[in-house]
Homo-oligomer: A and B are copies of this chain.
Amino acid sequence: MDTSIKVKFDKIDRKILEILQANAKITNAQLSKDIGLSPAPTLERVKKLEQSGIIKSYHAKLDAEKIGLGVSTFVLVSLIGHNKGNIDAFMKEINGIPEVIECHHITGTGDFILKIIAKDITAYQKLMLEKVSEIREVDSMQSMVILSTFKDSKVLPIPE
């Protein structure tokens, strides 16, 4: 299974991708002006980028504070075993917890790093005690509370 299917795209496509990453709500007319094409071929290119899977989806970014989410953390998690069964079981549990918004398998001392978001410290503690540490496969955890976020870019640096 090749998960790194490279799809060809040129300079114009790259520009489209940069613009849509930064602002998905731009109209096709404006986008076409920005890249120097007429609307028809512009739209065609966007559709192709969507169909090829280069563009996976479109999302609204919310202000976490304003919707009452005051606590964000990274959590390093070690599992009791590293076999596939354990990892699958862990993943399944994690997928059921909406407060865990990211879960990555990583190298190094910990096995996984999670990004978690909660209302406040109380809610976070409750979540950790009652949900995360209850997962059978979890051995140890180490929390890093985010004090402030200086950069949270939704724009990936597209290589040449």
Q: Which residues of A are interface residues toward B (Cβ below 8 A)? A: 3-7, 9, 17, 20-25, 52-70, 72, 74, 91, 94-95, 98-108, 110, 113, 117, 119, 123, 142-159
Contacts and interface: CB of A to CB of B under 8 A. Distances in A.
16 contacts: A4-B70, A21-B62, A55-B63, A57-B61, A58-B60, A67-B159, A69-B157, A74-B113, A91-B150, A98-B155, A101-B155, A102-B151, A102-B152, A103-B151, A105-B147, A106-B144
Contacts of A113: 74, 144
B159 A68 contact: yes
A146 B5 contact: no
A104 B148 contact: yes
Q: How many copies does the complex hold?
A: 2
> 9 closest A-B pairs (Cβ-Cβ)?
A20-B60, A24-B58, A59-B154, A103-B151, A98-B157, A4-B65, A106-B144, A105-B147, A25-B58
Contacts of A145: 106-108
B60 A107 contact: no
Nearest to A20: B60
A58 to B, nearest CB: 4
A85 to B, nearest CB: 15
Contacts of A64: 156
